[in-house]
Amino acid sequence: MIDRRLIEHFDWVLLSLTLVLGGIGILTIYSAANANVDIAGAKGLVHLKQSYWFAIGTGVMILMALFSYRWLNRLALPIYVFSIGLLVAVLFVGKEVSGSQRWLDLGPVSFQPSELVKVSIVIILARYFSRGASEEGFSLIELWKPLIWTLIPFALIVKQPDLGTSLIVLLIAGSVCMFVKIERRTLIGLTGVVIAGSAGAWFFLKGYQKQRILTFLDPQGDPLGAGYHIIQSKIAVGSGLLFGKGFLKGTQNALSFLPEQHTDFIFSVLAEEWGFLGAAAIILLYVLVVIWGLAIAARSKEPFGTILAVGLTSMIFWQTFINLAMALALLPVVGVPLPLISYGGSSMLVSMGAIGILLNISMRRFLFKE
């Protein structure tokens, strides 16, 4: 039997925000694919596939909300090892698409293990930090395990190569570490290492990755080649003006000028059709999700739930921030999907699973004492 108190404390606000964003995603994907028969092989099919993934994701969300999230504390290491095993499997038997080997074939569908890693790294870090919190903060010696746990999936994802997801993994881990507090001298030292490593990473980037950064700095340098994505995205966003051109009436999208309009640049489709007001409304919905996630962390009565909620909320925040920044030409194009809206089964299932865990933490906050 389900405790009646769980139903009484169910977080209807977070559920509503999630369903609204998912519904907007399906409508926008329909619009993005409506004029392009090349997307997913046939006109109109992608929005149906996204609907299926959203329905399955809703089931995953409910499942993750039903059992006590404290089981994740006990299963943190097995979940992490399993996700790393999937990343290793990708290197040997992964499916290659557009020069990147990121997917595992599972019969009729493909799964991207790097999406699961985002959640597994949050769980294992929450487990570690919740057991050793201190007023002084964590020292460099105490951070060696979290560093290794973070760098292993980072290196495996870079190998695929997937610069965007590997960056997200680092940002999630960094956000959790900043929240739990790090000694000042350790923080200064790690900051210096990150800055030096970022500069040195240039020499290890592949040619197309370097080109993306150069294009970000000067998109007009190659307007019909490397700069095409950014230029067309800015045109689409700007042409929406205040109220937009209307549903299915975006010319950049309809004429297929906008590349990857159902995945990386789906926000550009939204902005063109619904204008500044519509785009601002979408951003507001994501801001509310992030604020609500942090509120769940603040209301949690025990450290593991608090850190877990912060980590999962940071995952949603960073993915949203980077995707929007790409669409607005504020960051280089690194292939990060917009949570709950961009087309993709792996991203949808993991995002919905993360929301389910947040619901879980919110529902059970009354079970633990201060």
What is the average pLDDT value for the chain, to the nearest integer?
85
In a domain, 205, yes or no: yes
Residue 212 or 117, more confident = 117
Number of structural domains in the chain: 1
Instruction: Annotate 10-46 with b (16+ C-beta within 10 A) or e (fewer).
Output: ebeebbebbebbbebbbbbbbbbbbbbeebbeeeeeb
In a domain, 55, yes or no: yes
In a domain, 139, yes or no: yes
282: tokens are 């979408």
Prediction pTM value: 0.90
In a domain, 152, yes or no: yes
Residue 176 or 132, more confident = 176
Please check the confidence at residue 370 and state whether its pLDDT lies above 60: no
In a domain, 62, yes or no: yes
Domain that holds residue 68: 4-212+223-365
Q: How far is CA 226 from CA 99, 145, 238, 303, in A?
A: 16, 40, 20, 46
In a domain, 325, yes or no: yes
Would you state the pLDDT for residue 183? Answer: 80
| Percent of the chain's residues with pLDDT above 70 | 82
State pLDDT tens for residues 14-45: 999 999 999 999 999 998 877 554 554 444 58
Please check the confidence at residue 94 and state whether its pLDDT lies above 60: yes
Please check the confidence at residue 48 and state whether its pLDDT lies above 50: yes
In a domain, 217, yes or no: no
State pLDDT tens for residues 63-87: 999 888 999 999 999 999 999 999 9
In a domain, 370, yes or no: no
State pLDDT tens for residues 255-273: 566 677 788 889 999 999 9
